């Protein structure tokens, strides 16, 4: 069964030869570690994990250049994830996976930021969740999934059935190691609003791989708040597979000190009359680094579709860096597509104007930077109802200085 890859390396009759990436020599989990994570799991989950593990052990961990993983290591014993779940009771432990769910999750296989990490989560997950809505049902209450574990390895499956609607929040705070794979299937006429809040600790490595498949006239609103960590690497691949599907992706990011965030948002438009919009906004300070890769990939046959990608970053330190890497791949003529990126410091005139109105320099700076984030934060609160978990506004202000 084929997997959904990040980039299509085939053009007409030509196929690009993939370069051999540099790898790291990290002490691996063993067969004994794997078997321990299978304890208490259903036969279907064990079958899924075994297939993943057989491939996992043939691969090495990547030596990323933009966000070095030199200090990365696995934790022992193999960590699970402890979710505190509130909201509609439409979930169960992934350890109870049945045969149909095992078949479905294998159909949603994908490469992720690196195949090694996607398979790590699939192989060693033991306490993830399966969420499944009922058809034609709107859930007024948000499903809130809070991770309280110091370390977490998990693989989750979320299915939004036809003509249903769900709001879901994944909230993570301060894990030393997080390797989590999420698969979302949003069926015909369904709507999913999803918010990720990742408040990683300064010493954490967090790799999140997410894959979304949207059916006919399905609707996705994705908000992704990423604040710090030794390395924080969120990956989101959104595939509009059904006619008239729509996806809006709005990431917020703000690393500081020596933190690194390496983001990839890929909107793959595979069906006619579909829409994908990616709009990221962030800031960098201290010695931090942010990499923002926003790709729109419109496939042949996706007539009358549109895809846009834009990112803007405020630079608050001479030592902070940002790399904006937009990508636009279009195989169909009858489409609208565009991309843009901007990065820069705050103009002194704006600071001076606010200081003439009685603000200190720091107050003026906070007003401008917070003002850049505020429209998205307000949009999040309008959709999810309550204050954003984790006191995101306060965290953002403290990072300004």
Residue 245: how many other CB atoms lie within 10 Å: 29
Look at residue 1 and tell me whether its pLDDT is greater than 80.
no
Q: Is the pLDDT of residue 192 over 80?
A: yes
**In the block, which residue shows the tokens 């729109």?**
296
Residues 6+ apart with CB under 8 A from 362: 400, 401
Task: Check pLDDT > 70 for residue 291.
Answer: yes
Helix 31-38 to helix 43-56 angle (10° resolution) is 160
Q: Taking all residues of the chain, what is their mean pLDDT, rounded to a whole number?
A: 94
**Beta-bridge mates of residue 74:** none
Question: Which residue is associated with the tokens 């030509």?
Answer: 14
Q: Are 205 and 79 in contact (CB under 8 A)?
A: no
Q: Are 302 and 274 in contact (CB under 8 A)?
A: yes
87 prior amide bond cis, ω within 30 = no
In this structure, the strands spanning 91-93 and 129-132 are antiparallel
Degrees, nearest 5: CA angle 88-130-268:
105
Q: Which residues contact 107 (CB under 8 A, 6 or more apart)?
A: 1
pTM (2 d.p.): 0.96
Stretch 328-336: mean pLDDT, rounded?
Answer: 93
- Of the pLDDT bands very low, low, confident and very high (cuts 50, 70, 90), residue 11 is low
Torsion of CA 389, 390, 394, 395, to 10 degrees: -130
pLDDT digits (tens, 9 = 90+) for 243-272: 999 999 999 999 999 999 999 999 999 999
Pick from 8-12, 67-71, 86-90, 329-333: least confident: 8-12
**Can you tell me the distance from the alpha carbon of 396 to that of 400, in angstroms, rounded to the nearest whole number?**
7
């Amino acid at each position: 069964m084929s997997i959904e890859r990040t980039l299509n390396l085939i053009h007409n009759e030509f196929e690009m030869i993939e370069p051999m990436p540099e790898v790291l020599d990290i002490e691996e989990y063993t067969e004994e570690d794997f078997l321990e994570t299978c304890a208490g799991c259903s036969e279907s989950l064990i079958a899924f994990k075994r297939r993943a593990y057989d491939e996992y052990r043939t691969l090495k961990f990547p030596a990323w250049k933009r966000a070095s993983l030199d200090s990365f290591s696995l934790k022992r014993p193999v960590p699970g994830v402890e979710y505190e779940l509130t909201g509609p009771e439409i979930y169960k432990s992934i350890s109870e996976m049945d045969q149909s769910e095992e078949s479905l999750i294998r159909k949603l296989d994908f490469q992720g930021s690196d195949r090694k990490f996607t398979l790590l989560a699939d192989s060693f997950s033991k306490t993830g969740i399966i969420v499944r809505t009922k058809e034609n049902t709107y859930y007024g209450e948000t499903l809130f999934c809070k991770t309280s574990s110091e370390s977490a390895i998990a693989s989750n499956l979320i299915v939004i059935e036809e003509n249903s609607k769900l709001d879901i929040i994944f909230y993570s705070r301060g894990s030393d190691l997080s390797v989590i794979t999420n698969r979302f299937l949003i069926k015909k006429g369904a709507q999913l609003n999803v918010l990720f809040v990742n408040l990683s600790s300064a010493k954490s490595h967090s790799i999140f791989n997410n894959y979304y498949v949207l059916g006919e006239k399905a609707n996705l609103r994705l908000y992704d708040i990423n604040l710090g960590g030794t390395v924080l690497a969120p990956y989101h691949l959104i595939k509009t597979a059904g006619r008239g599907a729509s996806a809006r992706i709005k990431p917020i990011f703000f690393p500081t000190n020596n933190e690194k965030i390496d983001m990839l948002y890929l909107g793959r438009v595979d069906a006619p009359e579909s829409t994908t919009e990616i709009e990221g906004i962030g800031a960098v300070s201290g010695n931090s680094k942010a990499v923002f890769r926003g790709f729109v990939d419109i496939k042949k046959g996706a007539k009358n579709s549109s895809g846009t990608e834009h990112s803007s970053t405020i630079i608050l330190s001479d030592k902070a860096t940002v790399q904006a890497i937009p990508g636009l791949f279009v195989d169909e003529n009858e489409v609208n597509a565009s991309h843009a990126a901007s990065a820069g410091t705050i103009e002194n005139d704006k600071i001076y104007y606010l200081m003439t109105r009685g603000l200190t320099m720091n107050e003026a700076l906070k007003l401008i930077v917070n003002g850049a984030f505020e429209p998205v934060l307000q949009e999040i609160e309008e959709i999810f109802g309550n204050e954003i978990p984790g006191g995101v506004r306060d965290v953002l202000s403290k990072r300004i200085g």
